[in-house]
Amino acid sequence: MQYYESMIDLVGNTPLVKLTRVSAGIEATVLAKVEYFNPGGSVKDRIAVRMIEAAEKSGELQPGGTIVEPTSGNTGVGLAMVAQQKGYKCIFVCPDKVSTDKINVLRAYGAEVVVCPTAVDPEHPDSYYNVSDRLVRETPGAWKPDQYSNPNNPLSHYHSTGPELWQQTEGRITHFVTGVGTGGTISGTGRYLKEASEGHVKVIGADPEGSVYSGGSGRPYLVEGVGEDFWPTAYDAAIPDEIVAVSDKDSFQMTRRLAKEEGLLVGGSCGMAVVAALRVAERLGPEDTVVVLLPDSGRGYMSKIFNDEWLASYGFLEEEEPTARVADVL
Ligand code: PMP
């Protein structure tokens, strides 16, 4: 019989697919690593497995323990899925601006979600930061993974994403492009690829305009999951050769083109990373292979990026690519 023991065994080994339409006119091969094939639907399943298994080994997480993390997104889903399979509880803390759909996904996986008011100072006892710290102190057997500082976040990519890309491209990858949030993906995958290629692979970070990685102050942007207003320790600034800043408008328009033209229903940080990858690929020749990592699925963004009214309210709709508009009419 062919089966897996648990969903955890399905994490990683995601496919590479060639981008053809959005890369028209570009000589280099542009391949996408499609991370929504992970069982929790995003690249964050990889870090969840490794952070939890490392904490089991170190004794920080004991049988029957509780995982407490301030997260509302993909990391929460990965942690919740792995935790339930291994018999741990999860408590996630998130600000009240997070959509009820995202909160309900975490609850569906069996996690407890504590919602905190956004409109209070970080020092206030009810703030997102203080509530998660208090829960860690007061919950017996609590352990906080802290993806922003946990070395097993980048290490998971060093041991899985990086080797997969090297094998899948038979060592022919020349450029790796990915969005930067905690910095785990770029630091771990990038380090592996540089070591395996003896420094030949170029690593490019894609960042929302306004975020610190591309020289911004952390001013707001709409793309979710990427960019920061501080420098996490999971990010190794020595790895990227270049950081490309991408606007919200370009990110969202490319996200919609990926769905309409490549059959890839993916999230906004994917569109952002593809814009950066194509800017890099334009300068390259037929011998080059650019791989761009697409972190999650577009299903979580139907009421935003894929909603015409939402997009139009920011003035991002009218200049969509002509091919996409033709597809709309058809
Ligand atoms: N895109 C999305 C949708 C994400 O959730 C994340 C993780 N925060 C990233 C990109 C960036 O990945 P990393 O944290 O490894 O830099």
| ipTM of the complex as predicted | 0.96
% pLDDT > 70, the chain: 96
CA 210 – CA 217 distance, rounded (Å): 6
Report the separation in Å between the CA atom of 329 and the middle of ligand 1, taken as the mean of its atom positions: 34
Mean pLDDT of 141-145: 97
Q: How many H-runs (helices) and E-runs (strands) does the chain carry?
A: 11, 10
Sheet with strand 202-208: strands edge to edge:
16-18, 29-34, 289-294, 175-179, 202-208, 242-246
Establish whether residue 295 lines the binding site of ligand 1, counting it when its CB lies within 6 angstroms of any ligand atom.
yes
Q: Is the pLDDT of residue 328 over 70?
A: no
Does 44 qualify as catalytic in the annotation? yes
Q: Where are the beta strands (DSSP E) in 71-152?
A: 89-95, 112-116, 142-143
Distances (CA, A) of 259 to 35, 198, 287, 291, 327: 15, 36, 27, 18, 11
Q: Is the pLDDT of residue 317 over 60?
A: yes
Q: What's the pTM?
A: 0.94
pLDDT band at 123, cuts 50/70/90? confident
Ligand 1 atom with the smallest distance to the CA of 267 is 3
Q: Of the residues 44, 102, 144, 260, which is catalytic?
A: 44
> In 10 A of CB 26, how many CB atoms?
20
* Weakest-pLDDT range from 120-134, 239-253, 274-288: 120-134
Average pLDDT, the chain: 94
Task: Give the model's pLDDT for residue 323.
Answer: 52
Task: Give the model's pLDDT for residue 330.
Answer: 52
Ligand 1 atom with the smallest distance to the CA of 268 is 3
Mean pLDDT of 106-127: 90
Establish whether residue 292 lines the binding site of ligand 1, counting it when its CB lies within 6 angstroms of any ligand atom.
no
Ligand 1 atom with the smallest distance to the CA of 184 is 15
Mean pLDDT of 44-48: 98
